[in-house]
């Protein structure tokens, strides 16, 4: 077929990523060779490909739904915010440098040729490319330099579906207003609209749908109901409240919500463990004495550790450990658990060169310019379960005394490794640290860890077998596809793809 379709939205977080994921799954189920694409993504939630390249997790989710191995070509530009007006720029999976907004706006014009070549290649090599936009196409102050919404649609010569979120309110105004702010040639590229996250009576909504179609002169292709599936958040816009939905769990797991938290999808897998009651705790909130405290990854570990201390959350964590909580650090969280973090070359911080960690593990971290980006496999030394995950970090952590590694690594990016360790666990197995993101996706390891904590707390071991997380995700993609297929005019969608746009 060698065609494309683009999903744009009236605003951020209206459901573009999820609907693009659904289309990837539906087209794949229908026998089409499908691939996702988003020219530019801004997120602290990233992933490492088999090639050791970094890309946004939204496109990873879409690739999985399409049965494809994630590849940086699916997300050639990734922006990872390092401050209010500054981001780390990653192009084709490789870090370039940190840039201020004004510098990046000049730089991204040089990337249009690369984006054009990439989308042409994907369209040529696949039946259908599902392209996702970013934010809104109606940002009229940014249109001249746009490479991710209508500018991208023009490069791909792709028809566009516009999505509005009715749960936010004002969906008719947002759809109509977005279309009216577009240029006439851009309006012609929009071939239909979708109303997302609907709760209520469709019959009461229907007169509004008819009036909207008359106003915008394009069809409403479907009304997607609000649903609750265990799918990864599309980017950094996160509803933290939805993570704490298992009130019946008797094992409390608390994740410290660092100001610059990254890779928060590390904790989605806990939803498979029926005894876990998961909550995210802000640094100014009360921690208490949970059974397990997790310090997650961070885009700016030194800054987050400094804010942690200023809020006195460090003292809360240490007190929780004294009172019996197990502590687990991932990536930046692992670094925070050590004795000291050093940044002599001011790679991460311009103000702080040295900062004391929590001192719960005898390690120190030094930041270096080279970024480690690997898919990592190994065996954990405590429960002897297979571990698979990925590493994204610039710090190198040195063990100062009595090394007891958490994981024995045997493969990185598909290559065999030997005598390579990751992380650390203390002697009484109450403090753990690792650089491996996605470690909790390994169900046998996670269940073994949780049961060890239960035993230490005098609680009955939870014996229910837990589904493999990847198998669970496949089930979720199928459920998502079923919901969307049943509420979307798929014949019209295929007609839009077949007809394309007028040159």
Residues assigned a catalytic role: 331, 437
* 3 state SS of 428: coil
* 3 state SS of 78: strand
Chain center to CA of 316: 28
Helices 57-65 and 16-29 sit at what angle, rounded to 10 degrees?
20
- Written as six digits, the tokens of 344 are 């002599």
Residue 83 φ/ψ, nearest 5 degrees: -170, -175
Comparing C-alpha atoms, which of 336, 318, 399 is closest to residue 362? 399
Comparing C-alpha atoms, which of 200, 198, 204 is closest to residue 226? 198
Straight-line distance from the first to the last Cα atom of the chain, in angstroms, rounded to the nearest whole number: 18
Residue 155: count other Cβ atoms within 10 Å of its Cβ. 19
**331 close to 297: Cβ distance less than 8 angstroms:** yes
* 3 state SS of 407: strand
Q: Which long-range contacts (CB under 8 A, 24 or more apart) does 150-156 make?
A: 150/8, 150/182, 150/186, 150/189, 152/6, 152/39, 152/115, 152/119, 153/6, 153/8, 153/186, 153/189, 154/189, 155/112, 155/115, 155/116, 155/119, 156/4, 156/6, 156/119, 156/123, 156/129, 156/131
What is the C-alpha to C-alpha distance for residues 71 and 73, in angstroms, rounded to an integer? 5
Alpha helices in 57-170 (DSSP H): 57-65, 101-107, 112-125, 150-156
Across the chain, which distance is largest between two alpha carbons, in Å? 73
Comparing C-alpha atoms, which of 228, 275, 229, 231 is closest to residue 253? 275
Lookup result for tokens 């659904």: 22
Phi-psi region of 458 (alpha: psi -120 to 50; beta: other; left: phi over 0): left
What is the C-alpha to C-alpha distance for residues 296 and 282, in angstroms, rounded to an integer? 12
Side-chain-facing half-sphere of 156: CA atoms under 13 Å:
36
């Amino acid at each position: 077929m060698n065609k494309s379709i683009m999903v744009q939205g009236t605003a951020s977080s209206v459901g573009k990523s999820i609907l693009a994921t659904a289309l990837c799954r539906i087209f794949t189920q229908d026998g089409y060779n499908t691939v996702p694409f988003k020219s530019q993504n801004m997120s602290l939630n990233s992933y490492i490909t088999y090639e050791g390249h970094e890309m946004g997790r939204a496109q990873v989710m879409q690739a999985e739904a399409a049965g494809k191995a994630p590849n940086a070509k699916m997300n050639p530009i990734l922006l990872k915010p390092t401050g209010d007006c500054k981001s780390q720029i990653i192009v084709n999976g490789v870090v370039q440098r940190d840039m201020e907004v004004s510098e990046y706006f000049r730089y991204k014009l040089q990337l249009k040729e690369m984006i054009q070549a990439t989308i042409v290649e994907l369209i040529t090599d696949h039946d259908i490319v599902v392209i996702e936009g970013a934010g809104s196409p109606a940002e009229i102050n940014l249109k001249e330099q746009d490479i991710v919404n209508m500018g991208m649609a023009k490069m791909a010569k792709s028809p566009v579906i516009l999505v509005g979120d009715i749960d936010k309110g004002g969906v008719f105004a947002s759809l109509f207003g977005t279309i009216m702010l577009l240029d006439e040639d851009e309006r012609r590229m929009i071939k239909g609209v979708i109303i997302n996250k609907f709760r209520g009576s469709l019959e009461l909504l229907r007169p509004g749908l008819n009036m909207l179609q008359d106003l915008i002169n394009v069809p409403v292709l479907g009304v997607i109901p609000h649903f609750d599936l265990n799918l990864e958040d599309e980017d950094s816009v996160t509803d933290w409240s939805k993570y704490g939905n298992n009130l019946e769990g008797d094992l409390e797991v608390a994740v410290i919500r660092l100001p610059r938290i990254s890779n928060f999808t590390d904790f989605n897998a806990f939803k498979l463990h029926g005894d876990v009651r998961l909550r995210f705790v802000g640094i100014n909130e009360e921690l208490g004495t949970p059974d397990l405290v997790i310090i997650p990854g961070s885009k700016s570990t030194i800054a987050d550790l400094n804010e942690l201390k200023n809020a006195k959350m460090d003292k809360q964590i240490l007190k929780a450990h004294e009172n019996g909580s197990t502590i687990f650090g991932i990536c930046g969280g692992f670094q925070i658990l050590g004795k000291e973090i050093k940044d002599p070359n001011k790679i991460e911080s311009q103000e702080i060169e040295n900062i004391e960690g929590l001192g719960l593990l005898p390690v120190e971290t030094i930041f270096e310019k080279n970024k480690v980006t690997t898919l990592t496999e190994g065996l954990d030394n405590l429960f002897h379960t297979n571990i698979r995950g990925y590493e994204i970090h610039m710090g190198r952590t040195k063990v100062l005394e009595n090394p007891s590694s958490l994981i024995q690594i045997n493969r990185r990016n598909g290559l065999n490794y030997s005598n390579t360790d990751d992380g650390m666990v203390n002697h009484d197995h109450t403090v753990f640290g690792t650089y491996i993101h996605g470690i909790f996706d390994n169900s046998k390891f996670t269940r073994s860890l949780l049961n060890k904590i239960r035993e230490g707390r005098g609680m009955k071991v939870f014996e229910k077998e837990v589904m493999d997380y990847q198998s669970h995700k496949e089930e979720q993609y199928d459920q998502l596809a079923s919901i969307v297929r049943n509420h979307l005019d798929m014949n019209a969608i295929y007609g839009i793809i077949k007809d394309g746009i007028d040159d």
